[in-house]
Amino acid sequence: MKKYSLILFAVTAVCIIVGLVYNYKSFEGVKYINSSKMIKDEVNFGNVEVKEVKIDMDHGDISFAYGPELTVSSLYLKEDLPKVTYENGVLSVIQKIPVSNYVSVRHSEDEYLTKVTIPEGTVIKKIESVSNNCDAYLENIDAEDVTFKQSTGDVDIKGCKFQNLIADCQDGDFYVSGEFANVDIKLENDDVTLSGKLDQVKVDVINGDIELNTEGPIDLNKVSVNTLNGNLYINGKEIGD
């Protein structure tokens, strides 16, 4: 029995070594990144006009707030830092991590952060955000058209004023408060909470609750809310079964 086990061990070891040699090329270019090498990068464009903001990110939280100048601050590993550009009133923040290029052995992606500061008094015409694993925070932002398309991550909109808020997302809670003329949210999993002055509202959730808390009267003919597996609340009252 011992002889048989020894032979089996030897054969297994040989197979592992052959496999590693055979697949050596597939490991070329793999990056093992030290999570302690996080760096802060800041780009300042001054007090300029901001018409549009375009976000395209793979990892990391992003926040928007007003301040004296257009500034983008990021906390990332150097090789994962977002590319930030500004041209003709359009701010672009792109952060991509090719999955095939490395094996992650750290948890620093959970710490990634980008902060966008918009000059005070700016009414942004358009905000477009496309992301994979990102939470988004917007506070007291005034904009016309805002769109979100993301796979995983929460969206927290506080005290904002939008003409149109459009979202098509998979997983993540939506917390929205402020003043909105038109809201259209599609979400597969997790909850949606809308609060404030609402006019036209359309929310579709597959797995999760929907809660509407309105300031003043709301025309229910302009409200369409549906959840396949979840509960619906309007001003604290559960609707339906």
Q: What is the 3-state secondary structure (H, E, C) of the chain?
A: CHHHHHHHHHHHHHHHHHHHHHCHHHHCCCCCCCCCCEEEEEEEEECCCCCEEEEEEEECEEEEEEECCEEEEEEEEHHHCCEEEEECCEEEEEECCCHHHCCCCCCHHHHCEEEEEEECCCEEEEEEEEEEECCEEEECCEEEEEEEEEEECCEEEEEEEEEEEEEEEEECCEEEEEEEEEEEEEEEECCEEEEEEEEEEEEEEEECCEEEEECCCCCHHHEEEEEEECCEEECCEEECC
State phi, psi for 79 to the nearest 5 degrees. -75, -10
216 pLDDT band (50/70/90 cuts)?
confident
SS3 of the chain: helix, strand, coil, percent, to 5? 15, 60, 25
Residue 103 in tokens: 């094996």
- The mean per-residue pLDDT over the stretch 46-67 comes to 97
Residue span of the structural domain in which 222 resides: 2-239
Q: What is the pLDDT of residue 86?
A: 99
Residue 190 in tokens: 């997790």
Whether pTM > 0.85 for this model: the answer is: no
In this predicted model, what pLDDT tens digit does every residue of 88-110 receive, in sequence order? 999 999 999 865 444 444 444 56
To which residue do tokens 């509407």 refer? 212
Q: List the CATH number of the domain containing 114.
A: 2.160.20
- What's the structural domain count of the chain? 1
Q: Are 152 and 172 in contact (CB under 8 A)?
A: yes
239 pLDDT band (50/70/90 cuts)?
confident
Share of the chain above pLDDT 90, in %: 70
In this predicted model, what pLDDT tens digit does every residue of 64-90 receive, in sequence order? 999 999 999 999 998 899 999 999 999
Q: What is the pLDDT of residue 107?
A: 45
Least confident range of 98-112, 156-170, 195-209: 98-112
Q: What is the pLDDT of residue 20?
A: 45
